[in-house]
């Protein structure tokens, strides 16, 4: 009888242990990729940019993070645009964001399709973009004044993130490395992204200036260790 009780307790302990995993609560890393502008000029061009990130994980699938970006946002075409409008924005941006991954909502088993997409996440936040624009400012007619706008400005920005993390373990079996793919759409609250602040009704679209940033990145996890009731691998 004593042997049976001991065996049952051992089995319960084993089951409980199997249902929990440890994870590091902090990750840091960076990446690089392409930006694309969606502003008042007709041509939405591409630019290169990089980012650095620092995230705190409440669970393996819910995080709060700080991101910094630096690169170029380009648009327009001085030769082919009917008004000769073009810009190159050597921008810097920083935002505070939160992300929620699918793994916090679904059950998954090793080798299943659900396990492969558990790192799929959506997130949003708030930040600021600092614009440094080189413009070709031309008017519609020779006698008109050039289009208004500023070369140096700052705008509030709302980042919307859609991405996926792929998890890799260290020798202890903890999640240590992340491969990240992220698509970010940034809605700005201002007209500084392209440097054109048009007052004419003819050019005013009523739409916010937007830029997107697709990045590939790498994260290293470290710091204090948390406990989750879901296995990560």
Element (H, E) at 112: none
Dihedral, CA of residue 105, residue 107, residue 108 and residue 109, to nearest 10: 160
Q: Quick check: 20 and 227 in contact, CB under 8 A?
A: yes
With tokens 């980012």, the residue in question is 51
The span from the CA of 178 to the CA of 187, in Å, is 27
* pLDDT at 95 (0 to 100): 98
Identify the DSSP state of 84.
-
Give the closest residue to 94 by CA, choosing from 118, 128, 134, 124: 128
Q: Where are the domains of the chain?
A: 22-228
Element (H, E) at 16: helix 2-18
pLDDT in tens, 67-113: 999 999 999 988 888 778 899 999 999 999 999 999 999 988 888 89
pTM of the entire structure? 0.86
Most confident of 138-142, 148-152, 220-224, 227-231: 220-224
22-228 placed in CATH 2.60.15.10: no
pLDDT in tens, 162-221: 999 999 998 888 889 999 999 999 999 988 999 887 654 455 556 789 999 999 999 999
């Amino acid at each position: 009888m004593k042997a049976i009780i001991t065996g049952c307790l051992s089995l319960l302990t084993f089951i409980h242990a199997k249902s929990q995993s440890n994870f590091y609560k902090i990750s840091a890393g960076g990446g690089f990729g392409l930006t694309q502008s969606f502003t008042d000029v007709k041509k939405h061009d591409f630019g290169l940019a990089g980012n650095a990130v620092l995230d705190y994980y409440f669970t393996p699938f819910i995080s709060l993070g700080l991101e910094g970006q630096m690169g170029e946002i380009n648009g327009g075409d001085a030769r082919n645009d009917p008004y000769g409008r073009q810009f190159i924005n050597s921008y810097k941006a920083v935002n505070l964001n939160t992300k929620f991954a699918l793994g916090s909502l679904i059950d998954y088993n090793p080798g299943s399709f659900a396990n492969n997409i558990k790192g799929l996440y959506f997130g949003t936040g708030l930040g600021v973009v600092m614009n440094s624009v080189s413009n070709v400012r031309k008017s519609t007619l020779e006698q008109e004044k050039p289009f208004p706008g500023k070369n140096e400005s700052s705008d509030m920005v709302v980042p919307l993130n859609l991405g996926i993390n792929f998890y890799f373990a260290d020798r202890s079996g903890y999640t240590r490395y992340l491969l990240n793919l992220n698509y970010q759409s940034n809605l700005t609250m201002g007209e500084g992204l392209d440097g054109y602040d048009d007052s004419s009704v003819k050019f005013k679209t009523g739409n916010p200036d937007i830029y997107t940033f697709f990045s590939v990145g790498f994260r290293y996890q470290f710091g204090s260790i948390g406990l989750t009731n879901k296995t990560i691998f």
